[in-house]
């Protein structure tokens, strides 16, 4: 049995009840922590953490109303954090604020054990202290608004295309196109520039020349050389190639 003095006091925050339950079960099984509280409401977490000290917070990033970075930015005293999320695009931002670790959902026992070992090693050291200024900066970045439409200009005429209608963006003959079920529109900006501007929860780059709207994915098929082909539900059954180095990201985003 773990020595009582070495038990870590942790608090859990995740807006998904099932994810919170799974994390609690995994943590209890380690016998290395004491869960002093948990919540699916970030506002409740803010109140608790403003008044109580813990060894670490297991914190989801994407939550309605207040994301994890926004929650941290409102705390006067920064707790040690282990981030949990389904989207690894947040990894760089998470480590910018000196989180102890970063766990992708669904969390696996061996990864959790690694995070706890790291937490025990760094507990009470300067390396475990988060930078409040960086946290506020990341919170602002993640709270920024993304465009819900894009302009397509032909001569003197400008047409605005809703992002929800766009199945994908693609580059061809030095032009960038926004593809819809009925028509393709020429738009400004490269695929790389659009990747930075658009909502990453909605659009994922699957090839150097293709930015995919994940909501239009109907099925995926393995392809030679480790690549994949995505078939869209756009009425035309459009097929898009997924570069080999993009397959892993696509699988994570589609959760398969």
Domain boundary among 117, 142, 167: 142
Structure-model confidence comparison of residues 121 and 212, the more confident one: 212
| Phi-psi region at 28: left, alpha or beta (left = phi > 0; alpha = psi -120 to 50) | alpha
Q: Tell me: do 53 and 102 sit in the same domain.
A: yes
Residue 135 confidence (pLDDT) above 70: no
Q: Tell me: do 245 and 125 sit in the same domain.
A: no
In this structure, are strands 8-13 and 33-39 parallel, antiparallel, or unpaired?
Answer: parallel
Task: Tell me the average pLDDT of the chain.
Answer: 85
Res 2: pLDDT: 43
Residue 1 confidence (pLDDT) above 50: no
Q: Tell me: do 120 and 188 sit in the same domain.
A: no
Both structure tokens of 144: 């920024």
Residue 189's Cβ-side half-sphere holds a number of Cα atoms within 13 Å equal to 17
Rounded Cα distance, 58 and 177, in Å: 41
Domain boundary among 142, 157, 176: 142
Q: Tell me: do 41 and 116 sit in the same domain.
A: yes
Q: Tell me: do 198 and 249 sit in the same domain.
A: yes
State residue 14 phi and psi, 5-degree precision: -160, 130
Q: Tell me: do 110 and 195 sit in the same domain.
A: no
CA neighbor of 26 nearest in space, from 39, 40, 12: 12
**Structural domain boundaries enclosing 67:** 4-142
CA neighbor of 204 nearest in space, from 248, 237, 238: 248
Domain boundary among 123, 142, 161: 142
Rounded Cα distance, 190 and 210, in Å: 10
How many structural domains does the chain have?
2
> Tell me: the pLDDT tens digits for 193-251?
999 889 887 899 999 999 999 999 999 998 877 889 999 999 899 999 999 999 988 98
Q: Are 88 and 104 in contact (CB under 8 A)?
A: yes
Residue 242's Cβ-side half-sphere holds a number of Cα atoms within 13 Å equal to 25
User: Positive or negative, the Cα torsion across 153, 158, 159, 164?
Assistant: positive
Rounded Cα distance, 123 and 82, in Å: 13
């Amino acid at each position: 049995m773990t020595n009582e003095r070495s038990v870590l006091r942790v608090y859990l925050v995740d807006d998904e009840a099932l994810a919170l339950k799974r994390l609690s079960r995994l943590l209890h099984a380690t016998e290395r922590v004491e869960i002093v509280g948990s919540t699916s409401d970030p506002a409740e977490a803010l109140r608790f953490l403003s008044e109580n000290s813990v060894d670490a917070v297991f914190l989801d990033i994407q939550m309605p109303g207040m994301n994890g970075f926004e929650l941290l930015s409102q705390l006067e005293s920064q707790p040690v954090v282990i981030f949990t999320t389904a989207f690894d695009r947040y990894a760089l931002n998470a480590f910018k604020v000196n989180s102890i670790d970063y766990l992708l959902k669904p969390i696996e026992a061996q990864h959790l054990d690694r995070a706890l070992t790291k937490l025990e090693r760094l507990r009470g050291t300067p390396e475990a202290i988060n930078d409040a200024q960086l946290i506020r900066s990341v919170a602002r970045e993640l709270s920024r608004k993304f465009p819900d439409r894009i302009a397509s200009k032909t001569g003197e005429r400008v047409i605005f295309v809703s992002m929800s209608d766009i199945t994908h963006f693609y580059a061809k003959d030095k032009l960038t196109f926004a593809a819809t079920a009925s028509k393709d529109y020429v738009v400004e900006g490269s695929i790389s520039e659009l990747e930075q501007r658009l909502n990453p929860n909605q659009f994922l780059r699957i090839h150097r020349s293709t930015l995919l709207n994940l909501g239009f994915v109907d099925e995926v098929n393995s392809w030679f050389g480790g690549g994949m082909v995505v078939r869209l539900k756009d009425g035309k059954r459009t097929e898009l190639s997924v570069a080999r180095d993009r397959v892993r990201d696509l699988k994570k985003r589609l959760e398969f």
